[in-house]
Amino acid sequence: MRRVIVIGGGISGLAAAWSLRGRAEATVLEADDRIGGKLRTGTLAGVPVDEGAESLMALRPEAVDLAQAVGLGADLRDPAPGPVTLWSRGALRALPPGHVMGVPPDPSALEGTGLLSEPGLARLRQEETLPAPPLEARDVSVAEYLTGRLGREAVDRLVEPLLGGVYAGEVDRLSLRSALGPVAALAGPGGSLLAALRDRPARPARAVVRGVTGGTGRLAAAVARASGARIETGVRVTALRRAGGAWRVATASSGVLTADAVVLAVPAHAAARLLAGLAPEAAEALGGVRHADTAVVSLAFPPGTEAGLPPGNGFLVPAVEGRAVKAATYLSRKWAWPAGGPCVVRASLGRAGATLPRSDAELTALALADLRAAAGPLPAPLATRVTRWPAGLPQYDTGHATRMARARAALTDLPPLTLCGAAHQGVGIAACIASAYTATR
Ligand SMILES: Cc1cc2nc3c(=O)[nH]c(=O)nc-3n(C[C@H](O)[C@H](O)[C@H](O)COP(=O)(O)OP(=O)(O)OC[C@H]3O[C@@H](n4cnc5c(N)ncnc54)[C@H](O)[C@@H]3O)c2cc1C
């Protein structure tokens, strides 16, 4: 059987190893002392807490299907029902149901919500009567395209917080094609976007995301187990060299390994470093992907605190509000586990182009101050944890798809080497799994 080395033991690398089972002899090399990458479940005040990703996108099949295939079907949970809430214009305000990435098909649903000012709402209503801006052949930013249709306020206060929750990105740089391509295509070149959203076939009524009881870290462990691959942690790959039609993979701690093929399942910046001498054009393209530094502050409050939290499972914050926190999740309520334990809330901080404070104490204080300002009085936390994700989220800036195609094309003259991960087909877990399947195919 062909020997394949998968570099990176995050969900992308693990899904790649899993999809190779029975077809190749796979070895996963992970630099960290644990697998999972951004799927990391720790313990806070005695309960499991996801410190990175906490939910699986369920509107596309890959993550849920993989969880079921590796034996976690009975552990998948729907979140508690509740609206998407925005902390905007001075209060927590629920987005009316039926929105698509924050855009309501019928603007009248926003009346009385306070989500937009009167002029902002009036501008949104004009979408169906104003001539539609051209759908450019070049990739444009989400803001450039949507401002012409919906008005800037709707972009900043409805669309940006939802996209920010996924990409931590800037709407003025985020690629329309990569982030909202299918939504933009709905309206076509001349039609109304709102009318197109109204005409869409109704989506089946089911949860948009699902969780894994006990945390998403269990998904990484289960995929690793089911893959049958050799998994080596604490092994950092330092260089790749071609050896005829195969590969020699140098590591910091385990010498040099040989393989018939390599799957590079590391973040784009790490892939760029490993490819620098071998495929400079690919390295240049990958190295040009910007990344956002993000952090998660998890706070465990005394049991019973949950009753005083506002309705819903948390809130998103538009960047124009100028707050430190970009999203908050009432984890214990959202996933209803473990019963009777502390009330765990997590705050996400960090946006592309911004720098996070260096002190963890300062991050925690910022998170707590914003949570109290948004959600009302909260007791002193029993325990807190700061988890930093430096360069944690790749930015799908305009031109991203072309850039990544250039990286892939520059690898065709090498022995088999493919790329996957959060910079390729989308940042979410499901998209990472899809990129792993593409890579191993
Ligand atoms: C705070 C946060 C919250 C998120 N929440 C969600 C969510 O709720 N739902 C969702 O779908 N997505 C979420 N995401 C996005 C998603 O979690 C990630 O995009 C995804 O997990 C990335 O997986 P990956 O395997 O591509 O990369 P990673 O998880 O980064 O894994 C790459 C691995 O490669 C290893 N590595 C790097 N260099 C080397 C080397 N030289 N040698 C060996 N190993 C190396 C790293 O140590 C790492 O373990 C979130 C992301 C963050 C940062």
Taking CB atoms and a 6 Å cutoff, what residues make up the pocket around ligand 1?
A: 7-13, 29-32, 37-39, 52-55, 57, 236-237, 265-267, 270, 294, 296, 389, 392-393, 421-422, 427-429, 432
How many angstroms does the Cα of residue 318 sit away from the middle of ligand 1?
Answer: 24
How many angstroms separate the alpha carbon of residue 55 from the centre of ligand 1? 13
Tell how far the Cα of 432 is from the centroid of ligand 1, in angstroms: 9
| Same domain membership, residue 415 and residue 279 | yes
CB 42 within 8 A of CB 30: no
- CA distances to 20, 26, 219, 321, 441 from 224, rounded to whole Å, are 12, 11, 8, 41, 19
Q: Are 127 and 244 part of one and the same domain? A: no
With b meaning 16 or more CB within 10 Å and e meaning fewer, what string describes 128-142? eeeebeeeeeebbbb
Regarding whether 390 and 330 lie in a shared domain, the answer is: yes
CATH of the domain at 348: 3.90.660.20
CB 96 within 8 A of CB 123: no
Q: pLDDT digits over 247-263, tens only? A: 999 999 999 999 999 99
Together in a domain, 254 and 338: no
- The gap from C-alpha 405 to its chain's centroid, in whole angstroms, comes to 21
Report pLDDT digits (tens) over 20-54.
999 999 999 999 999 999 999 999 999 999 999 99
Atom of ligand 1 nearest to the CA of 55: 8
Ligand 1 binding pocket mutation candidate from 5, 38, 64 (most atoms within 8 A of CB): 38
For residue 88, being part of any structural domain is answered with no
Domain assignment of residue 87, yes or no = no
Range of the domain at 317: 291-394
How far is residue 246's CA from residue 2's CA, in Å, rounded to a whole number?
10
Q: 422 C-alpha vs ligand 1 centroid, how far in Å?
A: 7
What residue's CA is closest to ligand 1, atom 29? 37
- At residue 346, the 3 state secondary structure works out as strand
What is the domain-level CATH number for residue 243?
Answer: 3.50.50.60
CA of 317 to the centre of ligand 1 (A): 23
Q: Which of 199, 233, 252 is the last residue of a domain?
A: 199
CATH number for the domain spanning 153: value is 1.10.3110.10
5 in Cβ contact with 264 (< 8 Å): no
Q: What's the pLDDT tens digit per position in 281-308? A: 999 999 999 999 999 999 999 999 999 9
Q: What digits encode the pLDDT tens for the residues 184-213?
A: 888 777 788 999 989 888 777 788 999 999
pLDDT at 186: 81
CA distance 113 to 126: 19
Domain membership of residue 408 (yes or no) is: yes
Higher pLDDT, 128 or 427: 427
- Band (pLDDT 50/70/90 cuts) for residue 173 is very high
**C-alpha separations of 123 from 132, 143, 150, 212, 321 in Å:** 13, 15, 7, 41, 20
- Tell me phi and psi for residue 370, to 5 degrees: -65, -40
**SS3 of residue 268 by DSSP:** helix
Distance from Cα 313 to the centre of ligand 1, integer Å? 24
Asked if 193 and 129 touch (Cβ cutoff 8 Å), the reply is no
Assigned domain for 90 exists: no
Q: Whose CA is nearest to atom 7 of ligand 1?
A: 53
The yes-or-no verdict on residue 92 having pLDDT over 80 is: yes
209 part of a folded domain: no
Cβ atoms 179, 404 nearer than 8 A: no
Please say if the pLDDT value at position 84 is more than 80: yes
Checking if the pLDDT of 179 tops 80, the result is: yes
Q: Atom of ligand 1 at shortest distance to CA of 8?
A: 34
Q: How far apart are the C-alpha atoms of 302 and 381, rounded to whole Å? A: 7
DSSP 233-251: ES--EEEEEEETTEEEEEE
Q: How far is the CA of 128 from the centre of ligand 1 (A)?
A: 40
* Ligand 1: centre distance to CA 148 (Å): 35
Nearest one of 208, 237, 265, 291 to 424, comparing CA atoms: 265
Give the number of the atom of ligand 1 that is nearest the alpha carbon of residue 274.
41
Same-domain check for residues 311 and 267: no
Picking from 166, 199, 232, the residue at the C-terminal end of a domain is 199
Q: Given ligand 1 and candidates 429, 433, 435, 437, which is best to mutate, with the most ligand atoms within 8 Å of its CB? A: 429
Domain co-membership, 105 together with 181: yes
Q: How far is the CA of 132 from the centre of ligand 1 (A)?
A: 38
Q: If you write DSSP's letter for every residue of 11-69 in order, what string do you get?
A: HHHHHHHHHTTTTEEEEEEESSSSSBTT--EEEETTEEEESS---EE-SSSHHHHHHHH
The span from the CA of 429 to the CA of 406, in Å, is 24
Alpha-carbon span 165 to 49, nearest angstrom: 19
Give φ, ψ of 314 to 5 degrees.
145, -160
Q: Is 88 exposed, middle or buried (0-12, 13-18, 19+ CB in 10 A)?
A: buried
What is the reported pLDDT for 85?
97
> What distance in angstroms lies between residue 104's CA and the mean position of ligand 1's atoms?
32
For residues 189 and 100, state if they share a domain: yes
Q: Is residue 145 part of a domain?
A: yes
pLDDT at 75 over 80: yes
Q: Does residue 208 form part of some domain?
A: no
Protein residue whose Cα sits closest to atom 26 of ligand 1: 421
Total domains present in the chain: 3
Task: For residue 350, give Cα distances in angstroms to 50, 69, 347, 355.
Answer: 17, 34, 10, 7
State the DSSP string of 169-228. --TTTBBHHHHHHHHHHHHTTTS-HHHHHHHSPPPPSS-SEEEETT-THHHHHHHHHHHT
Write down the pLDDT at residue 11.
Answer: 98
As given in the structure block, the two tokens for residue 303 are 């049991």
Tell me how far apart the 2 most distant CA atoms of the chain are, in Å: 68
Task: Check whether residue 70 and residue 134 sit in a common domain.
Answer: no
- Give the Cα separation of 61 and 82 in Å (integer): 22
In this structure, the residue with its CA closest to atom 53 of ligand 1 is 392
> Does residue 299 share a domain with residue 260?
no
Of 309, 237, 335, 276, the C-alpha closest to 9 is 237
**CA 26/CA 259 separation, integer angstroms:** 9
The predicted structure's pLDDT at residue 207 = 85
Please check whether residues 126 and 246 belong to one and the same domain: no
In a domain, 44, yes or no: no
Pocket test of ligand 1: the residue of 266, 329, 346, 395 to mutate, having most ligand atoms within 8 Å of its CB, is: 266
DSSP state of 157: I
The mean pLDDT value of the chain amounts to 94
pLDDT tens for 127-166 read: 988 887 776 778 999 999 999 999 999 999 999 999 988 8
Shared domain check, 190 and 99: yes
Residue 83, classed as helix, strand or coil, is coil
pLDDT of residue 60: 93
Same domain, 280 and 410: yes
